[in-house]
Chains A and B, each alone.
Chain A
Amino acid sequence: MTVVACLKWVIPRVDDDDRFAGISAADQSALEFALLSARPGEDVVAVSAGPLGAERALRDAVACGLSRAIRIDLDPRASSSAVASSIASAVAGARLVWCGDYSLDRGTGSMPGFLAARLGIGQALGLIDVTIGDDSMSVVRRLDGARREIMRVTGPAVLSVEGSTARLRRASLRGVLAADNAIIDVIAGMSSPIDAVDEKPYRPRARALAAPSGTSALDRVRSLTDAGTATQRSETVVLDPPEAAARIVGALRDWGYLG
């Protein structure tokens, strides 16, 4: 069996080059968990889908004690789906696949989900805490509204972690020297059934507004903004504290905020 860490090689600032590139804190955590979660005799493999420069990140990972490193030769702009398809074909049969929760550049966080689907294994994504046991792992996932979900992972799964979950070990000097000559397997990337055609920053669509009514500028501004007109969203009541509390709880329940 193998344990896999997926690492994304990113150049954080637009006007920088390879020298300033690296992997995110989340990916470093993923690599550390891959090393920690491997059972005796299991291989730990790092995979990166990206250009030649990504091999430096893979060498750094090898220096930390990997069994093998694979670079999937893929355009850095390839879609999450294409990346997931390529990684899935490279690491089929893996027991655990660790990823950062989302990349520093695109940041959709969708690759781990695609990857679990392609591999046909479970997923536990966006983890903020991981406890590795002998037979299973206890992991904690962040939910909306400051809630937490605690899960047990017993079988093959894709796990994505936040950056603060683990600090990557420091590679030994011998490891670093040896990694210089490590062989990085390079395989061709795959296309995917779903592909991003274009990617651009979000821009709200323009919406046509009817000209406001009113004779004076002030009236027109009022009609545009609803300023000074009573809305139905607020209500002032004067009540004793216990009644006020009951009223607030009732209102919250009516509006669907309380279960």
Chain B
Amino acid sequence: MTAIDRDTNWPEISFEERIGTAEFRIHERAHIVVDGDTCRGCSTRECVVACPANLFVPTSDGGILFNYENCFECGTCYLVCNKEGAISWSYPEGGFGIVFHRT
């Protein structure tokens, strides 16, 4: 995390603190599934940069580690992904997932 302190010493919060401000009701079934083989052939890794919840992490062997628990259900990952079928994405079971409070 690099906040550019140009004017003030802004106390940036860690990503864990940031994501901790949102409420997620986690279901045991993953609503995002990533096809590891397809991702190994991907060099651009759009999902890693764009996912606002930072759910996609590159692994040293060239794959992608993902989690679904803290997902905003926005759809950015599958929209930016340029590999057909690499990310299967659906909504979590009704009543589960992100619950916004003051948005």
| A→B interface (CB under 8 Å) | 16, 20, 170
Contact = CB atoms under 8 A, between A and B. Distances in A.
Contacts of A170: 93
A16 to B, nearest CB: 7
Interface string B71-103: 000000000000000000000010000010100
B79 to A, nearest CB: 30
5 contacts: A16-B101, A20-B23, A20-B99, A20-B101, A170-B93
B41 to A, nearest CB: 38
Interface residues of B, number: 4
Contacts of B99: 20
Contacts of A20: 23, 99, 101
A16 B101 CA distance: 8
What's the dominant secondary structure at chain A's contact region?
Answer: loop
Contacts of A16: 101
B59 to A, nearest CB: 31
Nearest to A16: B101
A191 to B, nearest CB: 36
B102 to A, nearest CB: 10
A105 B35 CA distance: 42
A92 B24 CA distance: 39
A59 to B, nearest CB: 14
A13 B39 CA distance: 40
A64 B93 CA distance: 16
Nearest to B25: A22
A170 B95 CA distance: 11
Nearest to A167: B28
Nearest to B102: A15
Contacts of B101: 16, 20
A57 to B, nearest CB: 13
Interface string B46-90: 000000000000000000000000000000000000000000000
A170 B28 CA distance: 13
Interface in B1-46: 23
Nearest to B99: A20
A254 B24 CA distance: 51
A170 B93 CA distance: 10
A255 to B, nearest CB: 42
Nearest to A60: B95
Nearest to B94: A170
Nearest to B28: A167
A16 B93 CA distance: 23
Contacts of B93: 170
A20 B99 CA distance: 9
A20 B22 CA distance: 13
3 pairs of A and B residues whose beta carbons are closest in the complex:
A20-B99, A16-B101, A20-B101
